[in-house]
Structure 1
Amino acid sequence: MLRYTLMRLGIFVGCFLVVWGLVATGIVPAGIGGSYWLWIALLGLVVSAPISYIVLRGERDRASKKVVARVDRAKANMTANRTMEDDADDAARTGSAS
């Protein structure tokens, strides 16, 4: 997951720099008033999102599998704990009824 996040951040930084260069040269219009850096960040985000979606598909699938495995493990642990509690409760009730 960390690898995917760092790769996504790297793509954003690359797009941010490209957009900054385009705005600095006047190819892309600059933001209005004091929104220069916000405008560049927004454009960088808009450009990097589809690039990340296409380029990082495999990495995103690997990260998704890891998350699913963690969730399944947590569910199994919760079920095991619940079963242990039920068994202990049943044993306590059976022992007190005798």
Structure 2
Amino acid sequence: MLRYTLMRLGVFAGCLVVVWGAVYSGLFPRGFGDSNLLWVLLLSLVLSAPISWVVLRKERERASVQVSGKVDRIKANLDANRSQEDTLDDTAPVRGQTS
């Protein structure tokens, strides 16, 4: 998962550099007043999303398998803990009951 996140940030950083250069070279319009940095960041985010969707498909699927494996292990541990609690409750003596 960390690998996918770092690759995603790398795609965003690459888009940021390209958009920054395109804005300052005049290929893309500049933002109004002091909003130029926000314009460059938003445009980079919009461009990096579909690029990473296509380019990082295999890495995203690998991360998905890791996450689902962890979720399955946690569910199995919870089920095991529930069954242990049930057996302990069944073997414990009930208060107020005389033998």
TM bin (shorter chain): over 0.9
- Tell me, in whole angstroms, the C-alpha distance in 2 between the residues paired with 1:82 and 1:69: 20
| SS of residue matched to 1:47 | helix
**Which residue does the alignment assign to 1:26?**
26
Match of 1:87 in 2: 87
Q: TM-score, normalised by structure 1?
A: 0.95
- Matched residue type, 2:30: A
Correspondence for 1:50: 50
Structure 2 residues without counterparts, runs of 5 or longer: none
- Count of aligned pairs: 98
In the alignment, residue 89 of structure 1 is paired with which amino acid? D
**Residue 35 (structure 1) aligned with residue 28 (structure 2):** no
User: Equivalent residues in 2 for 1:5-20 (5 A)?
Assistant: 5-20=5-20
Tell me the CA shift for residue 97 of structure 1: 6.3
Q: Distance in 2 between matches of 1:76 and 1:36?
A: 51
Q: Matched residue of 2:34: which SS?
A: coil
Residue of structure 1 equivalent to 2:77: 77
Amino acid at match of 1:65: V
How big is the alpha-carbon RMSD for the aligned residues of Structure 1 and Structure 2? Answer: 1.5
Aligned to 1:61: 61
